[in-house]
A = this chain, B = another copy of it.
C-alpha cells in the first residue's frame, strides 16, 4: 500500500508531474490525448491530490471558518448546515469557531485562529456580522470574509440577509388585523442588528395602522429564554394587560407562553403571542407559535458560495478585476400557528 503521489501518476502516465498538475487544475495547454492518459492514471491508481501539499505550494488551506456567538442551538446548526453545503460543493471543509463577542481578547483570538488554521476565509454570523472593529481588522489583514444577516450594507463586502424589518412588520400587522391594539414588544439583544430591525418593523406597522406607540409596552430582552421570562413577568402584570405580545424571537415568546399558562391565561383568547425565527420550539410547544421563518441555511449557503468565489478569484491573480459588491436580501415568511387565533373582539 504505497502512497500514491503526483509522481506515481506522472510515471504511470509517462508524462512530467507538471503535466499531471495541469490536468489536476484544469489548466489549458494540454493535448486531449495527454489529458486522457493522465485522467486514466488517476482512475487506475485511485489518486487524490494531497490538499496539504497543495496548500503549502499555493498558500491555501481549502478551509473556511464559521464564527458565531449565539445562544440558539438550532440557529447555529442551521448556519452550519448551509455553510457546509456550499463548502462541500467546492471542495472546501468547514471549521467552526464559537467565540465571545464581548471578550476583550476577541481580535487576538481571531488572529490566533488565522495563524493556527490558515483558513482561506471567514463567515461572520450575527452578532459578528456587524462588528465594525472585526471587519476592519479582517480588511486590513486582507482576509476574505462574508457576512450573514448583516444590516449595515456597505459596498465593500459580501453580505446576505433576510428582511427582518418586513417580517416584523407583517407579524405586527397580523396582530392588528386580528383586532389587537395593545401589543407588547420584547426586544432582542442590543448587539444584534436584527434587534433594531425587528423593532422598526413593529413600529412601522403600528404607525401605518394609526395605532399609537406606547413605550411602556416595550421590554428589553436579549433573545434568551430567561430574558423572555423576565419581560413576561412585567408585561403580564400590566394594568390594563396588553392583549398581545410580540417577542423578538421564539425562545422569549415561549417564555411568555409559559408564564401566561402558569397564570391561567388562555392563549390566544386572553393573550395572543408571536415570536420570530421559527425555531423548533415554535412547533414543539402548545399552542404552537405564530412566527417568522428565515431562510438561514440558504443565507449562509449563498454567503459561503460567494466567499469561495472571491477566494478562488484572488487566487487567479485577477486582483485587478473589480469585485463587485454583493448584497443579497432574501424574503422571510410568516407562519401562523395557534398562539394567535381569532381575537376575542
Instruction: Tell me the A18-55 residues at the B interface (CB within 8 Å).
Output: 48, 50-53, 55
A91 with B74: CB separation less than 8 A: no
* Cβ contacts under 8 Å, A91 to chain B: 116
Q: Which residues of B contact A93 (CB under 8 A)?
A: 95, 116-117
Is A262's beta carbon under 8 Å from chain B? yes
In the assembly, what is the distance between CA of A51 and CA of B281, in Å?
41
A227 to chain B, nearest CB (A): 13
C-alpha gap A96/B91 in the complex (Å): 14
Quote the shortest CB–CB distance from A116 to chain B (angstroms). 6
Asked if A284 meets B286 with Cβ closer than 8 Å, knowing A52-B56, A73-B77, the reply is no
Q: Which of A8-16, A253-261, A317-325 interfaces with chain B?
A: A253-261
Interface size of A as a range: 35 or more
Q: Which residues in B have their C-beta under 8 angstroms from that of A56?
A: 50, 52-53, 55-56
Write the chain B residue with the least CB distance to A261. B286
For A80, list chain B residues within 8 Å (CB): 96
CB atoms of A48 and B251 under 8 A apart: no
A76 to B285, CA, bound (A): 21
Q: Does A145 contact B (CB under 8 A)?
A: no
**0 or 1 for each of A148-173: is its CB under 8 Å from B? (1 = yes):** 00000000000000000000000000
Q: How long is the Cα–Cα vector from A18 to B261 in the complex, in angstroms?
A: 70
A118 at the B interface (CB under 8 A): yes
Q: In the assembled complex, which residues on chain B have CB atoms less than 8 Å from the CB atom of A81?
A: 98
Most buried by B among A48, A251, A286: A286
Among B50, B96, B258, B283, the residue within 8 A (CB) of A284 is B258
Interface core residue of A48, A225, A255 (most chain B CB under 10 Å): A48
One digit per residue, 1 when the CB lies within 8 angstroms of any chain B CB and 0 when it does not, for chain A 82-96 equals 001000000101111
Q: Take A258-B284, A284-B255, A284-B285 as given contacts and tell me if A96 and B116 are in contact as well, using a CB distance cutoff of 8 Å.
A: no
- Top 6 nearest A-B pairs (CB, nearest first) are A73-B77, A258-B286, A48-B115, A73-B74, A52-B55, A73-B73
What are 16 contact pairs spanning A and B, CB under 8 A? Answer: A48-B116, A50-B56, A50-B118, A52-B52, A56-B56, A62-B116, A73-B77, A73-B280, A76-B77, A80-B96, A94-B95, A94-B96, A251-B284, A257-B286, A258-B284, A262-B286
